[in-house]
Amino acid sequence: MSEQLDSTSQTTANDLSYSENVPVTGQGRMDAAWGSKDGDESTTAQVTSNNASVGYVFEQIYKPWNGPLNPRWMRNWAILRHHVLGIFRKGHRPWSLPTKLFIVIVFIASLGDVGLTLLSALIGSPELHTMWGVNRDNLYGHVLGFFPRNMLYYPILAALLVGGVISEDRYHGTSALYFSRPISRFDYVMMKYISVAMIQAFVVLLTLMIYYFVEIIVMGRGWAWIIDTFPLFLAAFVGGIILIVTYTSIGLGLSSVSKGKFFPGIGLVAIVLGTKTLAVLVSNLFERDVMYLLSPYDCLAHVGQALVGTQTTYDQYSWTWSLASLVLMNAFFLYILSSRVASMEVTRE
């Protein structure tokens, strides 16, 4: 019996041996042995045939990069370019087609008062120009008017933009691509924030500038008119910046606590329009105006009215209360955003 075992093991060893002259390629044959019964009564191992499948074993060694790195501004520019240029061409962030179409529609719709100003200049109608030309009320309404801009245009635009900016990174593990590079979490948040705000500014602030300068060109305004109205234009411009910052802070704060596009977008629209509706109901039913301080739209409208100097619709309290409420809103959602990004891992969550 011992001689039979020695001969069998020697034969098996000869079959499985490899020549010393064969180069190492990471390829080897894996043989499986099994017994015929539970007790393995057979004294010899039954091995698979020579036609068994071949496995590959490779050793992966991480070698750190010791060469020069791109400067910080270039890494941040790569993030900004990835998000912003994705709106205009391929090869960058794949924004959905409905988002691109809505941006174009909102941009064209925001130029409606520009078209009416051109029409009033062509037909020489002072009544039409009084309604749609550049003045204190129209500059305020171009940015902070409730219908249709802050009811249909700007909140929905911000909701489409912030939907998956950070939540998709958490879901798909894209954060590993960011944080495996020398990119700090502050730069990550800053570039995401600027990207969303820049796309909104393309719609809100660029159309405001076109509206103002078209008035100067088609109506032949002189320096005296420009000196009188330029402070109003700057006040409306600042109001637009506050609007963009507020909507971006709320949207990215909601996106950082989600793993999908639906919740951040719906949450932003619900906060803006829902608090506005609730404040109106409470004011009409209970004659209490404190709910206006919880509404981002009403706080923005109150501050914008104070900046431009138009007639205010919030006589019950000072505009400084609305400004303080906006500061607290932005601080709250920025805190949520920073704390969630700080806990974001470099693997898929």
pTM beyond 0.75, yes or no: yes
Beta strands in the chain (DSSP E): 27-29, 33-34, 46-47, 54-56
CA distances from 332 to 205, 270, 279, 323 (A): 25, 17, 20, 14
User: Do residues 308 and 235 touch, judged by C-beta distance below 8 A?
Assistant: yes
What is the model's pLDDT at position 44? Answer: 54
User: Do residues 19 and 48 touch, judged by C-beta distance below 8 A?
Assistant: no
What is the model's pLDDT at position 24? Answer: 52
Give the start-to-end residue ranges of the domains of the chain: 73-342
What is the model's pLDDT at position 12? Answer: 45
Residue among 116, 115, 113, 192 nearest 149 (CA): 113
**pLDDT tens track, the chain, 349 positions:** 444 444 444 444 444 444 455 555 555 554 444 444 554 455 555 554 555 555 556 666 767 777 787 899 999 999 999 999 999 888 899 999 999 999 999 999 999 999 999 999 999 888 889 899 999 999 999 999 999 999 999 999 999 999 889 988 888 878 777 887 788 899 999 999 999 999 999 999 999 999 999 999 999 999 999 999 999 999 999 999 999 999 999 999 999 998 888 999 999 999 999 999 999 999 999 988 889 999 999 999 999 999 999 999 998 899 999 999 999 999 999 999 999 998 886 544 4
User: Do residues 134 and 229 touch, judged by C-beta distance below 8 A?
Assistant: yes
Within 10 angstroms of residue 46's Cβ, the number of other Cβ atoms is: 10
- Between CA 189 and CA 178 the distance in angstroms is 11
What is the model's pLDDT at position 69? Answer: 78
Query: Is 122 in a helix, a strand, or coil?
Result: helix
